[in-house]
Amino acid sequence: MHQHPFRGLFVVAAVLLVLPFVLPNSFYVDLAIRMGINAVIVLGLNLLIGFAGQISLGHAGFIGIGAYASAALPTHFGWHPLLAVAAGAVAAGALAAVLARPIFRLKGHYLAMATLGLGIIINIMVRNEAAWTGGPDGMAVPPMAFGSLEISGDKPWYWIVALLLCVSIWASINLIDSPFGRALRALHGSEVASKVVGVQVVRYKVAIFVLSAVFASFMGSITALYVGFVTPNLADFFHSIELVTMVVIGGMGSIYGSVLGAVLLTALPQALATFEGWETVVFGAILMLSMIFLPKGLVPTLAARFGKGD
Amino acid sequence: MALLDVQDLSIHFGGVKAVQNVSFSIDAGIVYAVIGPNGAGKTTLFNLITGIYTPTSGSILLDGQSIAGKSPDVLAQRGVARTFQNLQICMNMSAIENVMVGAHLRLDRNLLKAALRWPSIKTRDRDLHAEAEELMRFVGLDAYTGARADAMSYGALKRLEIARALAMKPRLLFLDEPAAGLNPKETIEVDHLIRKVADTGVTVVLVEHDMKMVMNLSDRILVLDYGRKLAEGTGAEVRRNPDVIAAYLGAHA
């Protein structure tokens, strides 16, 4: 966040502009969309984990809320998808706000357990309320449409996600580099010092938890609308862990680390498909090695090595 | 009326009576010292007054209004600032950001406006940056305005905490062992700095073991021992007090 905080954003935007014209086929466009979706979610999660220093092992639950709001509300009640997306985001934000106060009385392992439980409960509800959600089989998502104009296919969604990613990076940089963001980082650095200068610590933790939950829900909706189908896997524990791993590998407290972590870990399972059956083992080994040799994550480590700020 | 008035203040941790029926008052504009052997309850007293702990009993009045049991952020709004015996610096931030966070309550903390890069917020932050640089120069950290907090020496970090506290524009500043761990030269510098701070009109309360510094700076001194008030008065009065000599200064005399 130094002289040119937006230099990286220009690079990301340039890559996003060129990408659809160089990608060989729709398989790669699809991969790029999923990278972009994950990147936005991870940005929100990194605000919570990397900047504010609070863990959440249940964020896929919020993704599930957004995804299923986009699927169930138009299907069962005939809501317009746009309204359903907003309803999902409001519901996720409200749930996060209500639960955050008791949750953030906890610290460390206890906070991890509480958020883990939250994610699991949402996942169980999605699996069990089959009449509304299709249960374990999932359900189809009515497409986003305005009159006769229907948003479908790779290209429109690519540009929507690309735009959302750029806006999210911009907003995250702004947020971190503001009095709000400074207070957030301060309560991470020293909770007691931040209290003493007047930071209402719990309120800040709640605010950032709600914000990251809304990010997750919104992108859950985007995922559902893009794919056209939702399954409970979107909201399960492994997805939560995957997101946290993206934060850690990319770099806690690094905006561009969030993006890089999401890009790499979304691509890695595809790249490892050649290992046939051993890919999870190789995946695990790569994660372990990167934690041993790059404990601060990719972007902060590289930034330190080349003497630049991120 | 005294700026700070403490009456019969006590806190018990289980069976441990860390502070017992301590009463004193501090007039505005003075330098007030709290001394006593290790474990006498000095830092606990600071933690009670600055809202880290809630007293078991007793009253704390700031400008005649009760502040006992109020949270630290409420006290910050009332103009109470402090530093810590064991440094509380945000090592994940730059030095100047540590100072800037001290001005937290004077800023627009709106999340949405921040995310949208609202011009008034950016302008205010630029002014604050200049103000923080000024404060760093005031505490003698001219060389560190561009430094990372985790690259600074212990002595420099002690001053950084003072700069952060001053960024709050406090009326009442608590310094918990500002000279602990400093070499004699640094101690003299901090001594001068505290004098400079007091001259700006801030009421300073300090806990300190360096007797030369305490005697040199303080208008009044409170002596604690085993959580109780042993004596209170000017330096000369305290030094003559037989209880104090027996319990504390006796070791040095």
- Tens of pLDDT, residue by residue over B21-72, are 999 999 999 999 999 988 899 999 999 999 999 999 999 999 999 999 999 9
Q: Which burial class, exposed, middle or buried, applies to A196 when counting CB atoms under 10 A from its CB (0-12, 13-18, 19+)?
A: buried
The domain limits of chain B are 1-79+170-253, 92-169
Helix (H) or strand (E) holding A121: helix A108-128
Confidence bin at B251 (pLDDT 50/70/90):
low
Domain that holds residue A67: 24-236
Per-residue pLDDT at A1: 45
Nearest CA in chain B to A182: B101
User: How confident is the model at residue A94, as a pLDDT?
Assistant: 97
Identity of the residue in A179, A190, A198 whose CB atom sits nearest the CB atom of B125: A179
Contacts of A74 (CB under 8 A, 6+ apart): A80, A81, A84, A141, A142
Strand B4-13 relative to strand B16-26, pairing: antiparallel
Fold of B1-79+170-253: Rossmann fold (3.40.50)
Do the Cβ atoms of B102 and B165 come closer than 8 Å?
Answer: yes
Residues lower than pLDDT 50 in chain A: 1-2, 309-310
- At B123-164, the pLDDT tens digits run 999 999 999 999 999 999 999 999 999 999 999 999 999 999
Measured CA distances, A197 to A52, A208, B82 (Å) = 16, 19, 8
The answer to whether A189 contacts B116, with C-beta atoms less than 8 Å apart, is: no
pLDDT of residue B244: 87
Q: Is residue A187 part of a domain?
A: yes
Q: Which residue has the higher pLDDT, B193 or B250?
A: B193
What is the per-residue pLDDT across A164-220, written as a single tens digit (0 to 9) for each?
Answer: 999 999 999 999 999 999 999 999 999 999 999 999 999 999 999 999 999 999 999
pLDDT value at B224 more than 50: yes
Measured between CB atoms, does A181 come within 8 Å of chain B? yes
**What percent of chain B has pLDDT above 90?**
91
Residue that the structure tokens 């409001």 belong to: A90
pLDDT value at residue A91: 98
* Strands B57-62, A229-230: pairing kind: unpaired
Q: How far from the centroid of its chain's Cα atoms is residue A168's Cα?
A: 11
Give the confidence band of B178 by pLDDT, cuts at 50, 70, 90. Answer: very high
User: How would residue B253 be classed by pLDDT, with cut points 50, 70 and 90?
Assistant: very low
Sorting pLDDT into bands at 50, 70 and 90, what band is B250? low
- B250 vs B253: CA distance, rounded Å: 5
Domain count, chain A: 1
Sign of CA dihedral A222, A223, A226, A230: negative
Determine if the pTM surpasses 0.90.
yes
What's the half-sphere exposure (Cβ side, CA atoms, 13 Å) at A12?
Answer: 27
Average pLDDT (B236-251) is: 81
Which tokens in the block code for residue A171?
A: 């907003």
Q: Does A174 touch chain B (CB under 8 A)?
A: yes
pLDDT of residue A286: 84
Do B101 and A194 count as a contact with CB atoms less than 8 A apart? yes
A205's CB contacts (< 8 A; 6+ apart) are A52, A54, A100, A104, A187
pLDDT digits (tens, 9 = 90+) for B81-123: 999 999 999 999 999 999 999 999 999 999 999 999 999 999 9
Interface of A with B in 141-170 (CB under 8 A): 170
Residues of B in contact with A188 (CB under 8 A): 90, 92
| C-alpha separations of B191 from A98, B181, B208, B210, B220 in Å | 49, 14, 11, 10, 16
Instruction: Say what the pLDDT of residue A310 is.
Output: 45
In the prediction, which pLDDT does A282 show? 84
